[in-house]
Chain A
Amino acid sequence: MSNIVNIVIDGKEVEAEKGAVLIDYLFKQDIDIPHFCYHPALGTDGNCRMCMVEIEGSKRPQISCDTPVKEGMVVRTQGENIEQVRRDILELELINHPVDCPTCDQAGECKLQDYYMAGGFYESRLEAESKVKAKKAVDLGKNVMLDQERCVLCTRCTRFTDEITHTNELGIFSRADHSVISTFPGQELESDYSMNIVDLCPVGALTSKDFRFNQRVWFLESFEAICSGCSKGCSIHVDHKKEKYKDDQIFRFRPREDHDVNGYFICDDGRLSYKDENDNRLNDASINQETVSTKEALTNIADVLTANPNDTLLLVSPFLSNEELALIKEYTLNNGTTLSGYSPQYYDESFADDMLRTSDRSPNRAGMMALRINENEKDFNELLSQKKVIVVIENSYFEDKAELFKDKKVILFSSKDTKVKEFANTVLPVASFLEKDGSYTNSESVTQHIKSGIRKNAPVGTLTSLWKAIESLSKEKA
Chain B
Amino acid sequence: MKNFTLTPENQEKFEKISKRYPKIDSMMLPTLWLVQEQEGWISPEAMITVSELLNTTPIRVYEVVTFYTMYNTKPTGTHHIEVCKTTSCMLCGSKEIIAYLEETLEIKPGETSADGQFTLSVVECLGSCGGAPMLAFNGDYVENLTVDKVKTLLKESSNGN
Contacts and interface: CB of A to CB of B under 8 A. Distances in A.
A175 B47 CA distance: 18
A172 B60 CA distance: 9
A162 to B, nearest CB: 9
User: Which of B47, B59, B62 neighbours the largest number of chain A CB atoms within 10 Å of its CB?
Assistant: B59
Contacts of A174: 66-67
Interface string B49-68: 00000000111101100110
A172 B59 CA distance: 9
Contacts of B62: 171, 173, 184-185
B66 A184 contact: no
Contact of B59 (A168, A175, A186): A168
B44 interface: yes
A185 B58 CA distance: 10
Contacts of A169: 59
Nearest to B48: A184
Contacts of B47: 184
A167 to B, nearest CB: 9
Interface residues of A, number: 12
Nearest to B1: A186
B106 to A, nearest CB: 25
A174 B63 CA distance: 7
A183 B62 CA distance: 9
The interface centre, meaning the residue of A172, A173, A174, A184 with most chain B CB atoms within 10 A of its CB, is: A184
A172 B63 contact: yes
A171 B44 contact: no
Contacts of A170: 59
Given A184-B44, A185-B44, A175 B67 contact: yes
A140 to B, nearest CB: 13
Contacts of A184: 44, 47, 58-59, 62
Interface residues of B, number: 11
A186 B44 CA distance: 9
A184 B63 CA distance: 9
A101 to B, nearest CB: 29
Given A168-B57, A184-B59, A173 B44 contact: no
A171 B59 contact: yes
A204 to B, nearest CB: 23
Contacts of A173: 62-63, 66-67
Interface string A170-190: 111111000000011110000
Interface string A290-304: 000000000000000
Contacts of B66: 173-175
Interface string A141-179: 000000000000000000000000000111111110000
Nearest to A183: B59
Contacts of A172: 63
A171 B60 contact: yes
A168 to B, nearest CB: 4
A303 to B, nearest CB: 66
A323 to B, nearest CB: 49
Nearest to B65: A173
A183 B44 CA distance: 12
A171 B44 CA distance: 14
B109 to A, nearest CB: 15
A160 B67 CA distance: 21
A184 B57 CA distance: 10
Contacts of B67: 173-175
A171 B57 CA distance: 10
A168 B57 CA distance: 7
Nearest to B59: A171
Contacts of A186: 1, 44
Interface in B53-85: 57-60, 62-63, 66-67
A185 B62 CA distance: 9
A164 to B, nearest CB: 15
Contacts of B57: 168
A440 to B, nearest CB: 39
A184 B66 CA distance: 11
A86 B60 CA distance: 31
Nearest to A169: B59
B130 to A, nearest CB: 28
Nearest to B47: A184
Interface in B9-49: 44, 47
Nearest to A168: B57
A235 B80 CA distance: 58
A178 to B, nearest CB: 9
Contacts of B44: 184-186
B62 to A, nearest CB: 5
A183 B63 CA distance: 10
Given A168-B57, A171-B63, A183-B59, 7 more contacts: A168-B60, A169-B59, A173-B63, A174-B66, A184-B47, A184-B59, A185-B44
14 contacts: A168-B57, A168-B60, A170-B59, A171-B59, A171-B60, A171-B63, A172-B63, A173-B63, A173-B66, A174-B67, A175-B67, A184-B47, A184-B59, A186-B44
Interface of A: 168-175, 183-186
**7 A-B pairs with the lowest CB-CB distances in the bound complex, closest first:** A171-B59, A173-B66, A168-B57, A171-B63, A185-B44, A174-B66, A175-B67
